[in-house]
Structure 1
Amino acid sequence: MNTQLDASTAFKDTLPTMLGYIGIGIAFGIVGKAGGFSTLVVVLMSLIIYAGSAQFITVSMLATNNPIFAIIFATFLINARMILMSLTVATFFKKESLFKNILIGTFLTDESFALGINKQLITNQRLTFSWFNTANLLSYLTWVGSTIIGALIGDFIPNPESLGLDFAIVAMFIGLLYLQVHTDQKLSVTLQLLLIVLTFVGIYFGMIFIPHSILVLLVTLIICAIGVMINYAFN
């Protein structure tokens, strides 16, 4: 990454994320077809829902004839973390119009959020609509395009997990996490590693008694609060 915040730089910054989307998008297309849905329905899910984990849940719930309200509610809970992310991103666009803020929030993903947070670390806490909107739209187009490819070849791959495509998004987040730890000069590496370990512990034990739909959001809020208190106590 460099300090430029134009559209062409956004393409270069987003390229590694786009490559990750290809794997998981194809995997979703294959899983959707394996679940008995048509190519059109699978693609419409990516066009309209546009949320990886929520789309996998939607496919499984539709396949087991769950009521629509339950599917909508589950999707909302799974993506509730986006409220917190959108609030964070909105602080960088206070001078932009409401329409531009809505556009940024609509296409915001975990990956584009992580890219934005990493980017502002090297730009003196600056982000532009041109850079962020380009990153969002490139991610969206890559996701939809990858879903189309996966849906088209889905009939030829009866067992998606055998190819390990579902690990693509995990690998992507590992890379983004490393980039953030390496780039952030405001927090000590020791503190960041401590929070990462606490997050792993929180997720591991939280899975025992906390619904998976709100686990990520809850652990995120708790670990963020712990991080703020530790940073305040020693600085």
Structure 2
Amino acid sequence: MSKRLVAMGDSFTEGVGDDDPAAPNGVRGWADRVAEQLAAREPDFRYANLAIRGKLLPQVLGEQLEPGLALDPDLVSLYAGGNDLMRPKVDIDALLVAYETAVARIRATGARLILFTGVDGVEDPLFRTIRGRVAIYNELVRGIAARHDALLVDLWSMRQLCDRRFWAPDRLHLNALGHTEVAIEVLRVLGVEHPLTSPEPAPREVLSPAARRSQNLQWAREHALPWVRRRVKGESSGDAMAPKRPTLEPFGSASLPR
């Protein structure tokens, strides 16, 4: 059983979309849920989460890799690249060369490593435009995981995540239902028994064409345009953010934010 988990990455690992005002950075997420289950089985368990929203793959590796390894983890989760794939231009092969170098660095410490593929965005107009990029990224990640004996959580194969009811209103991040699904899959890959159950989403909302257009316009004003403005300015939603759990600390029912 793992005693020291360090999670690295971007908004996916930070937990954005799974709002919890009582939690650090105001979000919970799949990694916190996994940490809670591991802590319930290991009294000496400690957990750190260095992930920060908006980070590109080179930033995740440059800012989190060595500080994370300095914590001497025996289990690491790493996901990065999703924000890069959404840029107008991206060299996926070059990104994954750097990614594999980081994977080799982590595995050389003896720590177990969890990697992730990207989600299939087939049901969303925005994500569907980069579906081919994500598929290429995923194949490269699968090869890296195989070469370095890393555990792989295949989000692409989790077809329930194609259902937009598992996503936050910004359409970019999983909501609490989606993060719970990911936590369940991570625990399955780790071989850890747990009491978590797959959540049942609310019934699908049936909208008229006019109502759907209105909803899309509201989404564009509240989420899409601010995202575009930040990209034009070279800014990120995580520029003023600090890691939610920068050091290894106990994480159990007594310390779990609610």
Instruction: Name the TM-score, length of structure 1 as normaliser.
Output: 0.29
| Larger relative contact order (Cα-Cα within 8 Å, sequence gap ≥ 6) | 1
Using structure 2 for the length normalisation, give the TM-score: 0.27
Q: Which has the higher strand share?
A: 2
- Higher share of residues assigned helix: 1
